[in-house]
Structures are given as structure tokens and as C-alpha cells.
Structure 1
Amino acid sequence: MSLPFQSTPPRKQTTLDLRRAESQATPITRKESGAQGQKIELDGFEKKREAMCREMSGRWVGPCKVADFFRLTMPIELKKGSKEQLPKINKKFFAGKKPASEKAMVKKTIEFFGTDNFAGIQLVDTSNHPDPNSKRGAKLRPDISIRDKSDVIDPNSPTQLDETPGGLEAKNYVVDILSDKGPLFESETFTAQQARGQLATYAVELCARQHRTHLFFVYLFYPYARFIRFDRAGALVSERFNFTLDCTPLIRFFSRFSKMSRVERGYDPTVQVADEPETKLARERLKEWAPDPKYERPVFKMEVYDHQSVNGAKMPNPRKFLVWGALAGPESPLGRATRGYPALEVTHGLDQAKEAPLMFLKEQWRSIALRPEIDTLRELKDKEVEHVPTLECGGDLPGQVTQTAMYAAKIGKRGTKDIDTRIHVRFVVVEVGRPIERFSSSKEMFKAVYDAFQGHKQAYEKCKLLHRDVSGGNILLVKDGGILNDWDMAVNVEEVERGPRAHERTGTWAFMSIDLLMGEKRPHRISDDLESFFWVVLYHSLLYLPHNKVNKLYEIITGVFEQYTYYSEAKGGLGKYAMVTKGHHIGGDSPPPLEFTENAPLTEFVKTILMLMRNWKQRELAADSADNITTLLSGTAVLHLRSLGPKQPEVLPPPTEKEMRDDMEALFQFILSMVWPTDDKAQLHIVRKPIGATGQAPAEGTVGGGSKKRKSIDESDLESDDEEPKPKKVKSITSEALTEGPKERKSKKTPSVATRRSTRLHKGTTN
């Protein structure tokens, strides 16, 4: 699916933008939030909006009657017989001549708002200036931002997404994102898909820059409007209304919004900006993990609720921690939105905090369908499992639960997918790990993976737990080894054998097993996690250590770790399967064999484990074939056929999970006993896209090819938000376009089969 939506092409980047990946477990549908694949070049906002549209698919809930939207999301209490008092604004304010441009539409909306109609808030034109404190790839500029009346607005830099309680997108023509009366609620036109992706992108960045439970947004598409309320489960959307006939709903929205508390507007009350002494201390103690100095980030003080028993009753006992910039922000409007921070406890005052040990704070929106990670960490601690995080404190935050599922039930309408209910949880662990790609030697990296392997083994033997998201983002370097982090997708093996408990299967795309990538419909197994440990070693060795395949890294990364095909769901694994069975990319039919420079242990490990995996795969296939033949030819027929030919060798049974684990453990231990280099710290290779490459990841058995570029469909709004507006050529516009905007073309329901690479930037985190 290709959704072009910008008038200037995205800026090219010729090096692999590799930072730490956000450790979000990715479902088999391959969400942006956790693909963790490597992006070879920036695709621009066109691709990002396409991805956001795809992620939000089925999670737009509505249409909700406007009156019900106010009743559910912005309720007020009125005395019996009294009426709501609204500012005296002409309800026909927008009647008359249609605005000639989006700029004129923005100006008209701000005139409607006025200076004194809505106490405490103001509207600011932010359509021309991206936020200077947003990172590259997220420099958004909503058409209009809601700001506190007391804020002093810099006309040269009016967009401050960390200070924006809400926003508006304004179009001077009809681009409806949904169909209130049609058979499909989510319109399939290019412009509708693009607009939905654009709105979702705003929600992603606003919620990443702030600490929120929900977000209000207004979508104006002349002469209509919709109200939207986002949370981590989906978005409630009002029915569309014609504000040129009666703009009372807009008046009511801003009137109620102006009277709402910060909590009602969606701000998290358990997070406060640190005061000056706290900020000074945090910046000194946490300077090793300081945010990029190009982007200003404040120090926050966070409450962590440790649910301890008091006289038999569970009472929240908040502890306070200072944090300075998340190691990564959420890249999806939905899901867990995991953020992690090195943290300093200040519960007992700043004097004691000066010498207090640093810890690691993690927060996320957990699904009620899954066991809370904090319960898993408690069990691991109680059973004395090694090489896993040590829980210090934590619990659910009071009253912070997503509401979209409840709204869907109340209005009797919902998206096409199940809507989860999610609870905001925050907890602290003792260990502050380093990203695995910061290893000081190849042996340190390998030992960290082995320690994580041991943590996985002990968790299974002592607690019957499967991790289900072994990945580079979830293995951290600590003193003298490593730990296996992020147990939020872990399940008891007895439970997983009864089928998945959440709506989607999980894993991080680049490190998922071949079977899971290929979409095999079965519960997660130990073998899937074991295979992931190998992909972690290979992936980081290829990218950060010297070897004889450096000039082939583009093909290897895109063809093995990012490869996928897409029909109704994403599937992959073809590149990995070819590597395991044929040595594709690193030997076999791609000579010479992979060799790490002056690193015999690592070279031997990759060669040997691929032989093991090939043997396991062959035994599985042979056993399946034997079972099929026995099923088709039973009884005397089988005996007769066997008597006619030479004696067949006995088919080895498929390997047991214990056998695979024991084989891997023995191999890890043998490789660790070898002599390793000592001065080969991680150095990221520059990965260049070959001249003439389409940008699609090659893989055997699939049809490659680049996506066709379509012309822009908008004059200004649909360009990349990542740059200042650029002068554009004057185009002739038909009378039809003047009344309804650009023609809407139907998008393809099913994309052509094409092997595609990840569209996710590799971001830094240790959560």
C-alpha cells in the first residue's frame, strides 16, 4: 500500500540510521512500534503517515453523535432547569465565501476563537513552523495549536509541542477521514488514508513529548468538522457536522475545554516538571544519559505507586524519582507506549539523593488481557532467577485506564478490530543497563547474550515462563554480563499452550523465528525464543564488528532482518530460511563464507549454530513428511511399498526443545572458552544503498520492486512537515477542485506482492 502525501520528495540519507530500538514487542501484523528493523534511508512523512494509518486501522470508534461525544468525554454538571452558558458568537460565523486556502482557513478559525471568548486558552497559528525541539523525522507543525493564555508565543518559533494541550488540523476542502453512513467506516480513498495517518502522527508526537492519558483534537475539513479523543487503545470520533450552517458545536467544545482541569484535558497528574534544585541535581547525577543537547528536554519528577499492604488493605505508597529524557519515545498512537529512564530517587529529600544509587524507571500502558509485567518480575525475584531485572517497586497508577473500549460499548459502535483496555503502570528496577550495541568487546556482547540465555532458561525451569520477545532491545549490558529485560509479553507455558491471550502474536520483527515470521498458526514455543538469541548475535556482529561481508550489508539487513511480504497481514522469514538452509548471504550459494576479522570464536559460533539449525529444520521437515505418508498410506499398503524397495533409513524424530536448548548451551560455553580479541569494541558500519537499488528488501521466492511515486494531491498541507515550507510552482485548479478540493482516488485494497523493508527508525532505549 502506498499513500503519497507530500509535494516535495523526502530528503535522502545514505547511511544506516542506527540507534537503540524501542523494545516494543511487535505483533505478527508488524506494527511500527516494534518492528526494530533498520531503516536504510528516511522515507519521509509520506511513509510515516502510511504506517500510522495502517496501525490505527480498525481502532477508529464511531461515528459518535456530537451530543454523545460531549456527554462521554467532556461532561459538565448543570443545576436542574439551567442551561449551559456559551460565549456569544454568531453561530453562522463561518457562513459565506469559502476560504481560498488553508492559510485563510486557519486565519478564519483564529478570528472565530477571538481573544476573550474562551478564558485561559488561546489558538496559535503553527502551520508554518515545525517545533525546533522535535527530533528529525518528527518535526510536525499542526495548523493550529491550543495554548494556555499565559504562554508568551515567539512568532519565530510558535510551535512548542511539549506545551500544547490540544490541536486542530484545518483543510479548506472536503477530505473526510471516515464514512458515517457507508458500508466501510474508514474511507479507503488516498486522501482519507493520508489524513488519518496525519492525525495519528500528531497524536504520536504530542503524546511522546508530553505525559498524557488522552488527547483531544479537532479536524476541520470545510465545511465539515469532527472531534477526536485519542488514547492508547484507539480514538473516539464524532459524526461530522457542518460548521458553516451552525458552529455551536465548536463553540461548545472550546468553552468546555477552557474550563477543564489539566487532568481532564489528558495530562498525567503523577508527573511534574522538576523545580530548579531538583533539575540541577538530576542533570549532575544523570549526565551520562543526558538527552541530545540539540533538543531541549526538561527534568521530570515522577510518582511510582508501590502497592504495599497496610492493615490487610492494599494502599498506594508513592515514591518519587527524577528522570531526564526518555531513552526512546513511543512511535505509535496505540499500544504499550513504553518509555524507560535512568532514575534518581528523591522520596526522602535531595540530600539523601546525592548519594543514592541510580535505578531504572519504566512506564507503559499494559493490556488487561496479559499478565502484568510487574507480577512476572516479582515471581522471578521470589524464585531467585538470575540475569533478569530486580524489581524495586511499582504498580498501576491510580485511575489511569483507557476509555475507548468503554465508549465503543456505550455508543454501540466500534472499529473493525477488538479494542483493548489498557492500564498505565510504572515501576523501578535496580539495574541500569547499557544498550547491547555499546559493547567494549565482542566477547562482552556474546557473554551478555549468553547470560540472557541463562536467565531465559532459569525462568522456564523455575517459573514455566516464556519470554516471547527476545531481541537486541531486550538484552542489556550490566557489570560482568547481561540481563534479559522486558518481560511484559511473558506467559506461563501452560497458558500459551491453550492459545494466545491477547489479540496478536508477538515478537520483535528483526529477531523473530522463521516459523513465526512465516505466520505459522501455533502457540509460541521455547524454540522460537532460542532461535531469537542467534539472530541477536548475528545482527549485532554484522553491524558492529569487522568481517568480509561489509559491502553486502545492505542486502543482508534488508533481505534477512527486514524482509516481509504484505497481503492482508505481514509475513516474512524467507531470507532467514534461505540463510539457514542454503547459507544464502553468508556462505553456501553466496561465497565466500562469512568470516569475522581476527575473531575465530564468533566465526565458529555462526557456522556451527547454522549447522545445528539446518539439522533441526531438516528433521522437522522429514518428520512431517513421514507423518504425511503414514497418514495417506496405512496398514498393508505401507508394508508392501517398503518391501519393494531398498531398506529406508530410520527418520530421526524432530528435535525436542530440551535437546535444542542443551545444544545451544553447550555451544555457547565452548565458544566462550576460546581465545577472544580484546580490543574490538562496537563500531557501527556505514551501510550504503547500492546504486540502482529499489529500496525493497530482496528475498527468494518473492517479487521485488519499488513503489510507484504518485504526484502530490495537495498544495501545502500534504508536504513533509519536517522542513520549512518551500515555494511551489503555480498550478491551475479546476472549479471542481475549488469547491471540493483535490479529487479523491481509491486506494488499492490489496497491495501487490512485494518484498518490503522496515519503515521503522532504530531509536535508543533500554526499557
Structure 2
Amino acid sequence: MAKKFTKKKREKLPRIDKKFFAGNKPASAEVMTQMFMEFFGRYNFPGIKLVESPARPGPDHDSEHGLKVRPVINVHEESSTMEVDGHLAGVGIDDTMIELFNDDEDDAPFEDDSYEAKRTRDQLAAYVVDLCARQHRTHLFIVYIYYPYARFIRFDRSGALVSERFDFTDDCTPLIRFFSRFSKMTQAGRGYNPTVQVADELETKVAHERLSEWAPNPRYERPVFKMEVHDDREQAGGKRPNKPRPRKFLVWGSFADPDLPLGRATRGYPALEVTDGVENAPKDAPIMFLKEQWRSTALRQEIDILRDLNDKGVEHVPTLICGGVLPGQVTQTGLYATGRSGEKEIAERAHVRFVVLEVGRPLERFSSSKEMFKAVYDAFQGIQAFEKCNLLHRDVSGGNILLLSNGGLLIDWDMAAKADGEEHGTTSGTWDFMSIDLLGSTGLPHKVSDDLESFLWVVLYYGLLYLPHNKVDELEKIIHVIFEEYTNYGEAKGGQGKCLAVTAGRHIGFNACPPLEFANEPLTRFVHTILRLLMDYSQREAGARRRLKPPSILSDRPDYLSSLPPPPTQKQRQDDMELIFKLALDLPWPTDDKSRLNIVKNPEDDQAGIESKKRKNTTQNVPVEDTEDRQAKKAKRSAGDKTLTKALNAADGSRDP
């Protein structure tokens, strides 16, 4: 239910004529900008000032349908300064912004669903993403101007509160009242996250020295931040400590920034603890990993899952150091919304931040094929979570397996669910690595066998992309057919290529001409053994279904499938794969086959780049349901994980800003 506001005493507002903007329509956005500068004046709104921002393209300015460049007026704190070449570079000091739109565009972007209305909403979302990538925010205000109308918009990670439009040329009192109140707000009230501070010069110097291995791409300036982590671990007897002192960590550039204004907004950073001050931090203090996200309050926290895994002794999973929900940081959109557009529920989200001991390397940066294979095998051991905690990971993928100096780690347990819990029947996973059953059907319960099968697709995917083999000339087709292919009739489905590879030996198996062979025999033997194993499972399942049907009078021939043994249990499947992994590891592996991308990006006419970009645009049109809004996360069914684009970016050393 929306909150009700109580009437307060009349507030004192600046003496500005409510008809300030009355008159003829401004001839251009530049003239309108000058009018707002005069509206602010020097003393009307003490504490804040207007600064015209240089026009810049939207995030996808190089795409076929890139967003337009528009002027933006930024609102800054009057005392704000910026050391462009110093340790504050790249932060941004925008408190809010005034967005000016032209009158040849849709006048009802929040009521209409036309193409132009959608582009207007996309442009607003692009600015929010850009600003929140440079700043750490709990929410953001935007003043949206479409002459002669204006709206106020408040974004947080649950949605956007959009006011009714008003004619500010007839009465600009709402604008006066908004900026008057905004000028009196604290930084936290304006949306800045009070648990994040820009590091000082000494902290920045230390962070640059200790975190240099993970330095951000030089193309994107990123300052060093100092972040608080609040630990909500229960003490003995179920009691929590009284306001424990937050621990503090230095971070320098996240591995990736969110590309959407809503949702979990997950970010991860290598981190150095400086709780007692940077001058007191041991010079050999370990570098750990800090992760933060806006988690749906309807779902179990990853922190609690990690504690459970650690307490039960599950191996090759992250070791939780500390973490919890940040005080008071819960989204407000659902509290104040009096109505909504769209079909999705407004999910309440809480800001969670935690630290784990291990910092790994991406799986594609392996120094030998055996290192990659051993890392996947170690991550496979994380399936102990099913036996010890009754947990299914539900998102086994290459991106969720990290290389450590002594093996591998299965990370990102935020989609994990109890095997018999409410989320058991929801589909979850990364499209490229999901099992045949999950890709081809809807509503099937997630089983441990689905997680087990994903490990095969991880090994095959990274072997195909980064190791020598005899199918390099067919790689584009194989990657697309096995990992990315989908159909979309209301809901994305796939798995046909994987199914044919398993049951008919197509593409890479015994019916391919020639079958797939890697330059190292152990990997070849592993892949084909697992494919035969999955084919055996498939035939035994088909036989079980056949035995349930009444016999046919059309044929007296023996039914081969019906004579097969019953399908294996989940435990038998796990034991079978465990044995094959171990046997493969015992074989002699090469030691000098460091990862090397099998597709070379040609800036002029390389088909890999063209095709991957085409797939990227196509897959973005696949409707994906964010089921966190339904209190259970549905598949990361991106219908293609932008496979070759991601691989090419990783190969040239680039990373997201």
C-alpha cells in the first residue's frame, strides 16, 4: 500500500514568479538551458548549482539503432570540486540531472508503448546506468523536461517512480518546491551511498600498489573507493552483536558494472582490508574478493548459503569472511507506487555486501589444458552441496568457475536453492551451459543431473574456443548450434544441437565427419566418453518411457529400448561422472598448451566479429522473464551468452568499464 503523506506547515520557498517560464517556446535546447540557469540564479537554491554537461552519445552509440545525443543539465553541490587528473578522477559529482527532450518525440513515454516512447525510456535508462557506473548510489532523481511539461522521476533498483506531468509554463511552483527541498537534503537523501567513500591519497597509493594485478582498463578511469561491510552473523544463542563496527576495504574498479538500471546490479572487486587504517594494515595482508548486489528480499541471501556450505565442509566453494545487509538500504519504489505499468511485480530489494577469501582468475586464462580441466573438476566437487546441504547450484557455467593457484572454485551461489524447496521447479542457468532437458522444456524441476551435465558443456566450450582441435574451420557453426541456438514462440527454447550431439553423434560426435579431436588425447577421450554416457542415459530413459506404453500389435520385433536397464539414479550419475573425471586426470596431459583464442578478430571483414555482433542484437530481442519479481529467479536464459563477443573481448585484454 502506498504511503500517505500528512499535511505539514507551509514551507518557505524562494521568491520566484510561478510564471517564470511563461511565454513563447524556446527556439532550442540551448535557449531552454539558459532559461534554467536564470531560474536557478545565484541565491535561489543555496547549496546547489547548475552545470551544463557536454553532449555525449548513449552507451550503444555505435549500434544500428544508437540512442541520440541530448543535452543534459547536471545539478551539483555548490562546494563540489573535481581533481580531473587526481585520485578523484572518474567519480562524477552529479547530484541529479535535468533531461531536455525535443518536441518531435513522444509526449507520453510513460503511458504509451510506441517505438519512440520506448526509445525515450531507453535514453533515460542509459543516463541512469552511466551515472550509477561512476557513482555508488541507493537512488537517483531526474527532472524530465518536455516543453511545456515536466515530470519528476526517482530511480532505485526496484523501479522508477514517475510523477504525473505538469505544465511548468503555467505554474512552475512544483519545480521551485523540488529544487528547494533538494538543496536542503543530505548527500544520503540525494542518493549517495554513505557506506562508500573516495579513498584519500595514501589509501589510493597503497591500493594502486597492492591491487595492480587487477587494475581497471586504462580507457576507463576508476578511482579507489573505501567500502564498509557490515557483518550480520549471528552469535551463539541466536543473538546478534550490538552495532558491530563495520569492516572497511579498499577496492579499485569492479570486474563489471551493471548494464541495466534495475535488478541485482552485482559488482565484484579484489579488496584490501583497512579496517584499522591503511597505515596499520599488514604489508602482507591478503587480497580478498568483495561482492555487492541488490538482492530480492523474497529470496535467500547468498551470504546465508555460503555460511551453510562452509559450516558443512563443502569443498571448492568461496570461504566467507564477513558480510550482511547494509543498514537502511532497501528500495522504496514499492512503498510509494500508487500504480504501475507493465506486468512485473515490484520486488523489494536490499543492498548486500560481503567478502570472501579467494580471488581467482577467469577460466579462459588457463596456463595449460590440464589446469583448466582440473579447475572444472574441483568445481565439480562443489556438487557435494547436494549431499551435505540439499542444495542445487542451478547456474553451473564457465563464468562461475574460477582458476586458483591450486585448482578451481565454484562461485556465484546466489541462484542456489533447496532441492525440495519452492524454487525447485523454476528454471535457472546460463543458456550456453544449461542441460538438454532444461533448454527443451518448461516447468521441469531442476535436478542435480542438470548441474552435472553443465560441467561437460563447460569443458567442451572452453576446449573448442581456446585449445587446438580439428574443427576450427567449423567453429562458428558448432558454437552457434550447440551453445546458442534457440527458438522463440512465446518462450525461448533450445538444446536441439546438444541433443543431436549426444543422441546422434552430430556436429562433434561419432557421426561427424570427422569426429572432434583435440590436440591432447585426454581431453578428446573425456568429451567422447561423457557424450556416450549421456547417450546411454538418454536411451535408458526412453526405454523406461516405452515400458509404460501398451505393446503395439503392428510389430513382433524385439524392442531394444525396452530391454535396457532402468535409468540411473542421481547418485549413480554423479559417481559415473566423478570416475570419468578422475580417469581423465590420471592420463598424461600436455603442459605447454596455454589458452589461445581460436577466432581472430579482424577489424575490417572478419566474419567472427560480424556474426557475433549479429547474434548479440538478435539475442537481445528474446523475451526473458526476471522471475526475481516472482520471488524466484528464472533462467539467465539470454538465449546465447554473446559467446564470441565475450571471448574476443577477453582475448584482447579488454574488460567492461
TM-score range, shorter chain: 0.7 to 0.9
User: Is 1:338 aligned to 2:266, yes or no?
Assistant: yes
146-155 or 418-427: which moved more?
A: 146-155
Letter in 2 for 1:489: M
Instruction: Provide the residue aligned with 2:607 in structure 1.
Output: 689
When normalised by structure 2's length, the TM-score is 0.85
User: Structure 1 residues 563, 392: CA separation in 2 closer, same or farther (over 3 Å shift)?
Assistant: same
User: Structure 1 residues 542, 309: CA separation in 2 closer, same or farther (over 3 Å shift)?
Assistant: closer
User: Is 1:163 aligned to 2:93, yes or no?
Assistant: yes
User: Structure 1 residues 442, 461: CA separation in 2 closer, same or farther (over 3 Å shift)?
Assistant: same
User: Structure 1 residues 498, 585: CA separation in 2 closer, same or farther (over 3 Å shift)?
Assistant: closer
Task: Report if aligned partners of 2:90, 2:221 keep a CA contact under 8 Å in 1.
Answer: no
User: Is 1:619 aligned to 2:549, yes or no?
Assistant: no
Task: Report if aligned partners of 2:486, 2:495 keep a CA contact under 8 Å in 1.
Answer: yes
User: Is 1:440 aligned to 2:367, yes or no?
Assistant: yes
User: Structure 1 residues 216, 590: CA separation in 2 closer, same or farther (over 3 Å shift)?
Assistant: farther
Task: Report if aligned partners of 1:344, 1:353 keep a CA contact under 8 Å in 2.
Answer: no
Task: Report if aligned partners of 1:224, 1:243 keep a CA contact under 8 Å in 2.
Answer: yes
Letter in 2 for 1:297: R
User: Is 1:601 aligned to 2:522, yes or no?
Assistant: yes
Letter in 2 for 1:533: F
Task: Report if aligned partners of 1:214, 1:266 keep a CA contact under 8 Å in 2.
Answer: yes
Q: Report SS of the residue matched to 2:242.
A: strand
User: Structure 1 residues 204, 673: CA separation in 2 closer, same or farther (over 3 Å shift)?
Assistant: same
Instruction: Provide the residue aligned with 2:531 in structure 1.
Output: 610
The 5 Å alignment of 1:422-571 reads 422-456=349-383, 458-496=384-422, 499-500=425-426, 505-571=427-493
Task: Report if aligned partners of 2:232, 2:240 keep a CA contact under 8 Å in 1.
Answer: no
> Quick one: distance in 1 between partners of 2:563 and 2:188?
65
Task: Report if aligned partners of 2:258, 2:267 keep a CA contact under 8 Å in 1.
Answer: yes
Q: CA deviation at 1:643?
A: 9.8
User: Structure 1 residues 316, 373: CA separation in 2 closer, same or farther (over 3 Å shift)?
Assistant: farther
Q: CA deviation at 1:402?
A: 1.0
Letter in 1 for 2:367: S
Task: Report if aligned partners of 1:138, 1:205 keep a CA contact under 8 Å in 2.
Answer: no
Q: CA deviation at 1:301?
A: 0.9
Q: Report SS of the residue matched to 1:341.
A: strand
Instruction: Provide the residue aligned with 2:117 in structure 1.
Output: 192
The 5 Å alignment of 1:314-463 reads 314-317=241-244, 318-349=246-277, 350-408=279-337, 411=338, 413=340, 415-456=342-383, 458-463=384-389
Task: Report if aligned partners of 1:273, 1:301 keep a CA contact under 8 Å in 2.
Answer: yes
User: Structure 1 residues 694, 248: CA separation in 2 closer, same or farther (over 3 Å shift)?
Assistant: same
> Quick one: distance in 1 between partners of 2:618 and 2:268?
38
User: Structure 1 residues 460, 266: CA separation in 2 closer, same or farther (over 3 Å shift)?
Assistant: same
Instruction: Provide the residue aligned with 2:50 in structure 1.
Output: 123
Deviations 1:223-279 (A, max 9, x none): 222221111111111122222222222222222222111111111111111111111
Q: Report SS of the residue matched to 2:478.
A: helix
Show structure 1 runs of 5+ residues with no match: 1-60, 631-637, 699-703, 709-754
Q: Report SS of the residue matched to 2:420.
A: helix
Deviations 1:96-117 (A, max 9, x none): 3333444444444444333432
User: Structure 1 residues 696, 654: CA separation in 2 closer, same or farther (over 3 Å shift)?
Assistant: farther
> Quick one: distance in 1 between partners of 2:555 and 2:499?
35
Letter in 1 for 2:99: E
> Quick one: distance in 1 between partners of 2:68 and 2:386?
44
User: Structure 1 residues 517, 122: CA separation in 2 closer, same or farther (over 3 Å shift)?
Assistant: farther
User: Is 1:203 aligned to 2:203, yes or no?
Assistant: no
Letter in 2 for 1:462: K
Deviations 1:14-60 (A, max 9, x none): xxxxxxxxxxxxxxxxxxxxxxxxxxxxxxxxxxxxxxxxxxxxxxx
Letter in 2 for 1:471: S
Task: Report if aligned partners of 1:694, 1:705 keep a CA contact under 8 Å in 2.
Answer: no
Q: CA deviation at 1:154?
A: 10
The 5 Å alignment of 1:650-665 reads 650-652=562-564, 653-665=566-578
> Quick one: distance in 2 between partners of 1:177 and 1:507?
39
Give the counterpart of 1:113 among 19, 40, 47: 40
User: Structure 1 residues 382, 548: CA separation in 2 closer, same or farther (over 3 Å shift)?
Assistant: same
Task: Report if aligned partners of 2:109, 2:117 keep a CA contact under 8 Å in 1.
Answer: no
Instruction: Provide the residue aligned with 1:648 in structure 2.
Output: 559
User: Structure 1 residues 664, 321: CA separation in 2 closer, same or farther (over 3 Å shift)?
Assistant: same
Task: Report if aligned partners of 1:307, 1:316 keep a CA contact under 8 Å in 2.
Answer: no
> Quick one: distance in 2 between partners of 1:460 and 1:586?
31
User: How many residue pairs align between the two structures?
Assistant: 616
User: Structure 1 residues 488, 601: CA separation in 2 closer, same or farther (over 3 Å shift)?
Assistant: same
Letter in 1 for 2:188: V
Q: Report SS of the residue matched to 1:257.
A: helix
Q: CA deviation at 1:441?
A: 0.6
> Quick one: distance in 2 between partners of 1:288 and 1:210?
23
User: Structure 1 residues 430, 89: CA separation in 2 closer, same or farther (over 3 Å shift)?
Assistant: same
Give the counterpart of 1:275 among 184, 190, 200: 200
Deviations 1:416-472 (A, max 9, x none): 21121111111111111111111111100110000000122x111111110111111
Instruction: Provide the residue aligned with 1:147 in structure 2.
Output: 76
Instruction: Provide the residue aligned with 1:677 in structure 2.
Output: 590
User: Is 1:293 aligned to 2:218, yes or no?
Assistant: yes
Q: CA deviation at 1:482?
A: 0.5
> Quick one: distance in 1 between partners of 2:18 and 2:31?
19
> Quick one: distance in 2 between partners of 1:341 and 1:100?
47
User: Structure 1 residues 397, 694: CA separation in 2 closer, same or farther (over 3 Å shift)?
Assistant: closer
When normalised by structure 1's length, the TM-score is 0.73
> Quick one: distance in 2 between partners of 1:572 and 1:178?
37
Q: Report SS of the residue matched to 1:315.
A: coil
Task: Report if aligned partners of 1:475, 1:483 keep a CA contact under 8 Å in 2.
Answer: yes
Letter in 1 for 2:347: D
Task: Report if aligned partners of 1:142, 1:168 keep a CA contact under 8 Å in 2.
Answer: no
301-310 or 665-674: which moved more?
A: 301-310
> Quick one: distance in 1 between partners of 2:69 and 2:290?
28
User: Structure 1 residues 97, 484: CA separation in 2 closer, same or farther (over 3 Å shift)?
Assistant: same
> Quick one: distance in 2 between partners of 1:244 and 1:155?
38
Task: Report if aligned partners of 2:48, 2:75 keep a CA contact under 8 Å in 1.
Answer: yes
> Quick one: distance in 2 between partners of 1:210 and 1:692?
34
Query: Higher RCO, 1 or 2 (CA under 8 Å, sep at least 6)?
Result: 1
Identical residues among aligned pairs (%): 57
User: Structure 1 residues 463, 88: CA separation in 2 closer, same or farther (over 3 Å shift)?
Assistant: same
Task: Report if aligned partners of 2:418, 2:424 keep a CA contact under 8 Å in 1.
Answer: no
Task: Report if aligned partners of 2:424, 2:446 keep a CA contact under 8 Å in 1.
Answer: no
User: Structure 1 residues 612, 306: CA separation in 2 closer, same or farther (over 3 Å shift)?
Assistant: same
Letter in 1 for 2:473: N
User: Structure 1 residues 113, 621: CA separation in 2 closer, same or farther (over 3 Å shift)?
Assistant: farther
Task: Report if aligned partners of 1:554, 1:689 keep a CA contact under 8 Å in 2.
Answer: no
Letter in 2 for 1:646: R
Letter in 2 for 1:689: Q
Instruction: Provide the residue aligned with 2:629 in structure 1.
Output: none
485-494 or 686-695: which moved more?
A: 686-695
Q: Report SS of the residue matched to 1:307.
A: coil
Task: Report if aligned partners of 1:460, 1:466 keep a CA contact under 8 Å in 2.
Answer: yes
Backbone CA RMSD of aligned residues: 3.6
144-153 or 348-357: which moved more?
A: 144-153
User: Structure 1 residues 250, 588: CA separation in 2 closer, same or farther (over 3 Å shift)?
Assistant: farther
Q: CA deviation at 1:574?
A: 3.2
User: Is 1:261 aligned to 2:149, yes or no?
Assistant: no
> Quick one: distance in 2 between partners of 1:697 and 1:581?
27
